[in-house]
Each structure stands twice: as structure tokens, then as C-alpha cells.
Chain A
Amino acid sequence: MKSSVIVFPGSNCDRDIAVALEKMQFKNQMVWHKETKLPKSDLIVIPGGFSYGDYLRSGAIAGKSLIINEVIKAANEGCLILGICNGFQILTETGLLQGVLLRNKKLKFINKDVNIKVINNQTKFSNKYKKDQILKINIAHNEGNYFTNPEHLQKLKNENLIAFKYCNTTGNTDEESNPNGSLENIAGIFNSKKNILGMMPHPERMIDNLVSNTDGVNLFSSLLN
């Protein structure tokens, strides 16, 4: 499977995701933001980081960059798109995913391992997970507080477009287990066609027991499936 990782000035999880993709046997290429053409890819990843220094608003400038038009085109043609952390923020800025990521409720950057629950395992990104499986995944963000309008929220529920929710160790999606104030504990969502996933947690950080755990591995193996 061929993958491309888009690199913006200020991306800083680009190497991490590339390492994960290569470890999982993807044929990966890095694509600089000033490029106007994408290499042929089955998967495009927009990595975490602080693209353009988070100036103006996180993801806002990257959402208007040269390469992003190509990403939108590819998305519309059905290419799989994964946006992690800042990548999720960029996807909402481009309109490929609806909703916004607001400042964390406590107004502080948060880095910790949190539990998330797999809500929809019937997608290209999640078919190797069990439904309601609880994963321990690292988060690291300032703006991860997902918000959207009531109509869209209803649509997310009706069409099973919520990918992951923050939960406690027993799978309860209560307020205490919500790290950033996100609407209904949402940690990641799909678009209607389910070829685009945006998520705040970092699956690429969870592929190696020597530094963390392997709860992120199945996201990549789902894609290869």
C-alpha cells in the first residue's frame, strides 16, 4: 500500500508517522507543502505538529496551502485520508471534516495517555479493532475540544461517523474521562463516505512496547486489510 505524508513547516510528528507506516510495511513518501502534485497514494496522512506555528488559528494556514487542493481532490476521488492531531485540525479547516477544535476546556496543553473506545469498527481505518474495544493512546494538544452544531452531531450519530470516544478504563464515556471538554467525548470522526478520519490521539506513538504499547498498530493494519 502506498502512503504519502504531507509535511508543512512546523509539522513535528511527520517523522513519527513515517516510522510507523514503514514499520507496518507501507511504501511511504514525504510530500513537501509547496508541491503541487501528489504522488499516487492509497493513503494520505496529515501529521501532527504546529503547522505554520499555529499562527492565526491552528491548522488555518495549512488549510490554505498549495498542496491542500491536491489533498481535497484526492479525498473527493475516494483516497483514504488520515489527519492526526494538527492534521485533524487542518481537515476541519479545509471543510473535509465538519466541526471545529476549540481550546482545551482547562486552557492548558495536555499530554497524557488516555483511554478511547472504538465506536465504529466497520471502516477501512478500524476493521481490525473490536467494537467498543478500549485503547490506551497518547494525546498531546492545546486545541482538541471538538465542537459541532446539533444537526451535524445528529448526523454523526445517525450515520455512525464517530470513530473514537474518550472513556475510562471500563469504557464509560463520562465527564471525568473527557480530557479536553470535547462534545460527547468525541476523540475522532469520519466524513460521510468514511474515507477520511480525523483524530486527536496519536496512534503512531503506540506501536512499540519498548516505549509505550501497541494499541495503535491495528489502525494501520486495518488500512492494509
Chain B
Amino acid sequence: MKTITNKVIEQHGLKLEEYSTIKKLLKREPNLLELGIFSAMWNEHCSYKSSRKHLKNLPTKGKQVIQGPGENAGVIDIGDEDAIIFKIESHNHPSYIEPYQGAATGVGGILRDVFTMGARPIALLNSIHFGSPDHFKTRSLLNGVVSGIGGYGNCIGIPTVAGETKFNSTYNENILVNAMAIGHAKKNKIFYSRAKGLNKSVVYVGSKTGRDGIHGASMASAEFDDDSEEKKPTVQVGDPFTEKLLMEACLELMKDNSIISIQDMGAAGLTSSSVEMASKGELGIELNLDKVPCREENMTPYEMMLSESQERMLIILEDGKEKHAKKIFNKWDLDFVIIGKTTDTNKLTLKYNNKIEGEIPLDALASKAPIYDRKWVKKKLTKSKIDLKKLKKIKIEDALIKILSSANHSNKNWITSQYDQMVMCDTAQKSGADAAIIRIHKKEKAIAVSVDSSSNYCKSHPLTGGKQIVCENWRNLISVGAKPIAITNCLNFGNPEDPKIMGEFVECLAGIKESCEFLNYPVVSGNVSFYNGTNKKNISPTPVIGGVGLISKLKRSMNHQLKKNDSVLLLIGKTFGHLEQSIFLEEIHSIIEGQPPEINLINEKNNGESVLEIINKDLVNSVHDISSGGLIITLAEMSMGSNYGVKIDKPKKLTDLFKYFFGEDQGRYVLEIDRNNLEKVENILKNNNVFYENIGFTQKDYFEIQKELKIDIKELYKINNQWYNNY
């Protein structure tokens, strides 16, 4: 057997001091199999060793929360015995090495997290970030990732309903692929991973185990270097067809009380699933590796335990249910093998050829795994010296067209038409809106979902950036008439061993916490992805927020398309004209400087709740929040694809038109109101102390700012739909 040298330890992604701890915990040297298992459980991806200390501070409770972080996914209560189960997860590293399979298995993995808990998945979302469009890799990565997401979701038959796609040179050599899945279950039929009872059968179901993805989780816990291509074998290969069978088989078995606990084999495969189930149940677990269904010959215990082959599950069954369960899995042509049992040893025991090949106390792998209090430093804030008067002159019309035709602000039909958004027939609002809307099957209620990020804001001021993304996500749900309930987050950062990066993490998280607490918008699940970078170049901090809200009556949901001629347009919230870190400065003047706009949580909440009240009282025709690009982009988006445009007056107070139209002040919305509803709406706004302005009205066919520009909305639509087709 291979002796464990310092090099072997390093290859397993472990530090020498961590190896000493292992020896202390075992009171002996581990063998190679055991070392592999420690490496799988102690890597950043599985152990959250750098983040755990800070994640603890997030608000995770509330009367709407059934299950917070720590399970396969978060669970929230949406009334009438219905629960929504959801989570977002990253698959950044594999997707950069092998975009199609990386993205596809990202989708597959997050779906398993959701149906493992007893939910039928009802929607998929994604947040994907690529390098600059001119970077030589971007085109093929974009193509591969989009095909991979579509390939998996389309085949399994879960609609991909919303997402965001962004380009920024910070991701040139480390793209981000975050996938989110949402499922629906009955509140009293939720399945957990905690094992219970002695001598219960541990059953392996799903695909066979192959040599793919060995050390995938460790790979995802290190930076890339010039040899990243060589890591291709650590990327798993997905098979959505098998996952569809596995999903149907699991959901069929979940109809009765056969299952004690269930856990999917995700990162670190058989190792993490068996360890998590047993350690949560404070039991031991014994696996007979001779029984593991293998795809390839002569697989060693080491390979079986560390493989990340997809579409596999581990189930602990009630006594006497084996036959019944086997019948279901056989019906779906899936492997079903009893590979072990629960024990009272509090150890993971691995047998092969009647010999114990490895034995590790479970607490050494779970509760005694290292936790680091990494050094971090506060972000040094830079003052911007932008003098707007000195910038090169540009017409408002030209700036608008340039932004609408840019990679980041173009219509993403090219992407979304590659995803089946309609399968399951409950997608009431697809991609392209503030939030997607999914009806709860055969009910009149629906959920609204959105994913959001703002890496430039988070880079320049992590605390404000963290606050802002939660608010932006909250606003998006409000805009479609949903009451926001809870979020999941995917925290994509660079190398946590660098105090500056760790500082970005800590401060972003503090911002997220502050907004979530204020808005009663708890975090119920999430994932941390560190080491996003190549050759010491870290990505900008990119926390991604996935939010879920409830629409109690689908027919009262809202969208952003202008509906009528001559309605009044109200701008909700105060406009100060904040241009630092704006899309305007970035796209038009190539300036990324200064601070993001401030977040005023009191106004944010008050404005949002007032807008929701107006929607619920059926007083508004369309609603759109104002986000990147400012008021003018919001108005353009409301017009494009509609039959109506706008006629906007010049501002009365703020005289700099660029500040007024392109400023990114927060907490703002545009509302389209019928003239005969105006008084009622104004009364609500006045009663609630909401600042608002009457900025103009809708008109047929034209997008117009008085004495400044007038464009046919069809032309605007065309401009907005070119970029992807020409790329």
C-alpha cells in the first residue's frame, strides 16, 4: 500500500497540521482510504471550515421556516399544508473545466437535494457569470453552460424559469455557474437525512459507481492554475434520464412510510452521504463495499468511497420494507442493493473482502472537523474623483441605445429559448420579468422566484453590496405581486486564506444579515464557494441571492409590460442621481469607480410594502423595479415587447439628466396607473409616507422623453435583441 508522505497529504488538499490532527483523532496513522475520506469531508466545500463561524450569524428562523440550513435544502411554509423546498448551489470549478457536464451535473445535483426531501421539483433557476465577451474562452463556455443547463433540465422535464447571465472580466478565468431548484411537498411529508434506529438496512439506489469525479469536492476547494485542464477527470458526467427515473422511483417510495432517512450522494459521494446520515443520527454505519454496484471492474474501496458518480442515493429503510422498495426501484430499472446497516459504534466502518479496510469515528469527520477563524481585513474604501462635467459628451439617446445593445443588458431570449420553460404547465411567468411565477399545481396560489447578484457593488463596498442584493431580490418579488418569504444564497468568493478576500466575505455576509433581519427574509439554505480564482487572481465577491415569495391569488399577479394608453406613470422612491458604480459609467465611459448607492432599509421596506398593497388592491396595470441602468432602462424594459411606450417629462428638481435617468438609487419602482385609480393610489402612498413623483404617461408606439428623444418601441426592441444573435 502507498505510504503517506507529505506529498500524498498535499495531493489530498490537506495541510500538514490538519494531518497531525487526524492522527490525534485516530490515535494512529490513517491508511490511504481513510486519508481520502478525511480529505473528502474536511475540504472547504464539504466542511465549510472557513465560513462556518460567520454563517452562524445569518438569520435563519421565522414562523414561515420549517427547516433552515443544515439539511439537503431549506423548507418554508406557504399555507394549506403546502411546503416549498429550495436551495441554490455552485458548480463553478467543474463548469470552467468542462462547461457542458459541469453545468448539467450542477442542475442534477441541486435537483436531487430537493427531491431527496420529498418534494417534486417544480422549477429551476440559474445565475451564470462569464468573463468578458472578447475573452477567447467566453463563447465556448457560454455555449457549453447554456446547453448543459438546458440538456439536463429539458430532459428531466423540470422547467427552467428564470436566471441571470452576466459578463465581467473578473470571471475570465473562473466562471460562475449557480443552479437553484425549487420543489413542492406536503408539509407532513418531508424527508430528512438524520438516521434513526439500530441495524436498519442502508440501501444504495440509482446509477452504478464509476471512476468519475473522484476528488471533485477537493478540486472545488482549491484555486486553478495553468494545469487546470488536467483536472477534467474530476468532473462528473450527468445522465438526466437516470435522474428522471431516480426521481420518480424516490417519489413513489415516499408515498408511504418505508423511508427513515434519505440522502443524495452529491459532493464526496458515498463518503459524505453515509457520514452525514449516521453522524446526524448519532449512530454508527457499516458499509460492505463488495456490494456497491460498480460500473467498472476492479474498483478499489478508495475509488468507491470517493467517486462522485451522479444520480445515486442512500436510503435507510424501516424493517421489513426492503422487498416493497426493491420492487419500485426495479420497476424503474434502477440498482437497489442493501450495502450496510446502522450500528451503535459511532464509527464509519468499511468492509471489503471480509476485512475491515477502514474505520473512523464519525465525530472526527463531522463535528471535530477543523473550523478556522481566518484573518480578515475591512475593505479600504476608495473615494471617486469622477467629474461628470469632464466626461466626453454623449446624447441620452445614444447612451440608452448603447446600454440596451450591450452584452449585459440585451434580451436573453437566445439563452432562455434553449430551456423548456413551460413543461409541467404551471409556469405563469417566464424569464425576462422581474421574477418568474409558478402556480402550485391545481391550486389558485403561486410562488414567485428570482435570483440576483451585484458583483461591482459588492467589490467596491461589500457591506452595502450584501445589503443591496437582498433588497434587489426582495423588490423583484414585490414587483410581481408576491410577498417575499425566504432566501437561499450562493456565496461565490476568492481565496479565503487571503485576509482581503475573507474580509469581503465577512462584510458581504454582514450586509446580507442586516437586510434579511430587517425585511424578515430569513436564509433557509445555501452554499459557499471559495477559491474562485486562477493563479492568485480572485474574482470579485459575488454572493447570489435566490428568493421565494408567495402570491395567494395567481390572477392578481403582476408584470412589467405596459398595458394601456394614457395611464399615469408614478416613480416610487427618491431619486438622488447616484452614478458611481453605475451601468452608465461602466458601459458608456468605462469607469468602474466609487461607491454603490446607499441602502435605506426603512424606505426599502415601506416602499415595497406599499407597492404590494397597491397591487393587491388591483389598482395598478404594471410594475417594474428600478435596478441597474436606472430609471431609463426600467422604462425601456416596460415598453419593449408591449404595444405602448412612454412620454416622460424632464425632471423638475434634479437638473443633470444623466443623473436623473441613469442614477441607480435604491428602493424605487415605476407604476403604471389608470387615471381613475390615481387618487386611490396617491392616498395609499401618502398614508404610508412614501415619496413619489408623477413622471409622465403611457402612449402608443413611442418611447419619448420630452425635448430629448423619441424612438419607436419596435426599434428599441430590435436594438435590445441583437447582441446574442451577432455574438
Contact = CB atoms under 8 A, between A and B. Distances in A.
B467 interface: no
Interface residues of A, number: 31
Interface stretch (A116-124, A125-133, A164-172, A206-214): A206-214
A108 B241 contact: no
A112 interface: yes
A50 B154 contact: yes
A9 interface: yes
Interface string A9-40: 11011011001100000000000001000000
Contacts of B425: 16, 19-20, 204-205, 208, 211-212
Nearest to B159: A111
Nearest to B157: A12
A28 to B, nearest CB: 15
Given A140-B154, A210-B555, A109 B241 contact: no
A144 interface: no
B424 A111 contact: no
A10 B439 contact: no
Contacts of A208: 425
Size class of B's contact patch?
Answer: 20 to 34
Interface in A73-105: none
Given A109-B418, A211-B439, A16 B423 contact: yes
Nearest to B334: A9
B516 interface: no
Contacts of B426: 211
Nearest to B555: A210
A204 B240 CA distance: 23
Given A53-B239, A55-B241, A13 B154 contact: no
A138 interface: yes
A49 interface: yes
A54 interface: yes
Interface in A130-148: 138, 140, 142
Contacts of A204: 425
B245 A9 contact: yes
B535 interface: no
Nearest to A202: B422
Given A53-B240, A109-B150, A110-B417, A10 B155 contact: yes
A53 B155 contact: yes
A13 B418 CA distance: 17
Given A50-B154, A109-B418, A111-B418, A10 B423 contact: no
B373 interface: no
A111 B419 contact: yes
Contacts of A210: 428, 439, 554-555
Interface in B299-326: none
Q: Which of B147, B150, B241, B421 has the most chain A CB within a 10 Å cutoff?
A: B241
A50 B439 contact: no
A109 B154 contact: yes
Contact of B422 (A53, A54, A140): A140
Nearest to A111: B420
Given A12-B244, A50-B241, A211-B439, A109 B420 contact: yes
B333 interface: yes
Contact of A52 (B241, B332, B413, B418): B241
Interface of B: 147, 150-151, 154-157, 239-242, 244-245, 331-333, 413, 416-428, 439, 442, 554-555
24 contacts: A9-B245, A10-B155, A12-B156, A12-B423, A19-B442, A20-B425, A50-B157, A50-B240, A50-B244, A52-B241, A53-B240, A53-B241, A109-B418, A109-B419, A110-B417, A111-B416, A111-B418, A111-B422, A112-B413, A140-B420, A202-B422, A205-B425, A210-B439, A210-B555
Given A12-B423, A16-B423, 15 more contacts: A12-B155, A13-B423, A19-B442, A49-B157, A50-B154, A52-B241, A55-B241, A108-B147, A109-B151, A111-B417, A111-B419, A140-B154, A142-B154, A210-B428, A211-B427
